[in-house]
Amino acid sequence: MARILALDYGTKRTGIAVTDVLQLIATSLTTVRSHELLTFLDTYFAKEPVELVVLGKPKTLRNEPSDNAKYVDIFEKQFRTKFPTMPIAYADERFTSSMALQTMIDGGVKKIKRQNKEMIDTISATIILQSYLEQKNNTL
């Protein structure tokens, strides 16, 4: 089996999470500047087997695309051009940043460290990936 990789795409930074090769556990990987993301992914895909990328789709409470969705769509087109054979799945990313912050609070992370946006982005990507895995397992 190969890994599943999740992206919490943002205009400045993208949080990245990945599964183990058995696709059981979602783990935070890193945060990459969004303008360097395709280069990072090219290098990562060359080193690690990845069978699927889960892309967080920002939506409003009315289940409509949010203002940031247009940036995700632009990135998705660039991704499909660079990696035309890599499958993409989508996950609702509503509330993932809030959930990431709450996870940090519950984990006892001090306030100064909770202001680290990169940490929030990687935890958000992990939440997106874990949600995808749970949904996938519930449909099997």
* pLDDT value at residue 49: 96
**Strands across the sheet containing 3-9:** 26-33, 13-19, 3-9, 50-57, 88-92
What's the whole-model pTM score?
A: 0.82
- Provide block-wise average pLDDT over 10 residues at a time, the chain (140 residues): 94 94 93 97 97 86 71 95 96 61 59 62 86 77
* pLDDT value at residue 39: 98
**Under the phi-then-psi rule, with left for phi > 0, alpha for psi from -120 to 50, and beta for the rest, what region is 29?**
alpha
* DSSP letter, residue 48: S
Per the CB < 8 A criterion, the answer to whether 116 and 13 are in contact is: no
* pLDDT value at residue 51: 96
User: Which domains does the chain show, CATH number per domain?
Assistant: 3-139 (3.30.420.140)
d(CA 9, CA 31): 10
* pLDDT value at residue 71: 92
